[in-house]
Amino acid sequence: MSSGGRLRLVAVVAVLGAAAALIVSRIDVEEALREVTLPLRHDDIIRQQAREKDLDPALVAAVINEESSFRDNPTSHAGARGLMQVTPATAIAIAEQTGGTEFVVEDLADPQINIAYGTRHLHDLLDQYDGNVIAALAAYNAGSGNVDKWGGALLTLAEIRFDETRAYVVEVLEKQEQYRDSYAEDLGL
């Protein structure tokens, strides 16, 4: 092979190598960006608990994203704990209803327990508000007492009186769609 032929071969290999590196790095960049903007962890627990409670796993992931950004053990100023930001009072009530006789509030640090209790609470709110997702999410954020005053099972987005709660509901519903689109396989959709 002539020196000109070798040069062309080296150039072709270099271009192909650069193209391959670009493709691989783009995938890594896209994956890293998705991890930052739309994280997903504990998808096995989310799938399991959503199935047990007849919930959309994308909705559960969206609530976790909004409540804790998938950080395992945050505690809010109101004392809510863990991935789904379950309050101790709610957790104790759920433990009593479900026979969790050995439950202690510190158990909310366990992702399995936190997601189990958070999905139970979300399921109960959906039942309470006749499947109205807007009302259930508003109650998850602002409490049932407020939702009852605002319209209960007939609540619409426009009737939510707290700007923060309205923004919360909108964000969860938008994230639910994003989780459906981005993580359908991971969430078993």
Catalytic residues, which ones? Answer: 67
Between CA 24 and CA 136 the distance in angstroms is 42
Single-letter amino acid, residue 109: A
DSSP 154: G
Determine the 3-state secondary structure of 75 from DSSP. strand
Instruction: Estimate the crossing angle of helix 111-128 against helix 43-53, to 10 degrees.
Output: 30
Residues 6+ positions from 52 with CB-CB distance below 8 Å: 119
Report the alpha-carbon angle 92-147-108, nearest 5.
25
DSSP 1: -
Distance from the Cα of residue 96 to its chain's centroid: 26
By the 8 A CB rule, do 159 and 150 touch?
A: yes
Tokens of 7: 């040069």
